[in-house]
Amino acid sequence: MKKFVRVIIAAAALVLCFTLSACGSKYASHYSAMLMVRENTSNKASVSFDSFSGTYVMQLKNKSADEVFINYEAALGEGNIKVYYDYNDEKLNLFELETNGSADGKTETFTGNKTIYIIIESDGKCSDGSFSFVLEKSEK
């Protein structure tokens, strides 16, 4: 009887583990960082770090049918980072930064009530980075 109870408990623990670890996000963050400051609301996301290695994912949400775009600014002290965005299930290159690089600009216009993913990927250890993304309404 004890063996049967242990098997049931082990099976329940496995099911619970897989249920809790499954996330609703299409992309997953996996990184190591020091002195990392993050902010992510539905229309604004930013991250700053002293050192970073890995992948960090942020989500912006267009909560209306309005046309919007993402205004971005970024700077990197040392290393190489690629930044992508995903809208309508297509991962597209937004910009790349190398040592002492910076970028600013805006994306294409998005329409519809959808989630826009921002994916920051390093190809090794990076330092002294700052990234900011703001969802803004298009003016016609």
Q: Under CATH, which number does the domain 26-137 receive? A: 2.60.120.260
- pLDDT for the residue numbered 22: 44
41 residue type, one letter: T
Cβ neighbour number for residue 80 with a 10 Å cutoff? 16
- pLDDT for the residue numbered 73: 97
Domain segments of the chain as ranges: 26-137
- pLDDT for the residue numbered 19: 44
In three-state secondary structure terms, 124 is: coil
Query: What are the pLDDT tens digits along the chain (140 aa)?
Result: 777 656 566 666 655 544 444 445 688 999 988 988 988 888 899 999 999 999 999 999 888 778 888 999 999 999 999 999 998 888 999 999 999 999 999 988 877 768 889 999 999 999 999 999 999 888 76
In three-state secondary structure terms, 108 is: coil
CB 60 within 8 A of CB 118: yes
- pLDDT for the residue numbered 47: 95
In three-state secondary structure terms, 17 is: helix
Compute CA distances 98 → 20, 42, 130, whole Å.
37, 28, 13
In three-state secondary structure terms, 5 is: helix
**pTM as predicted:** 0.77
- pLDDT for the residue numbered 62: 84
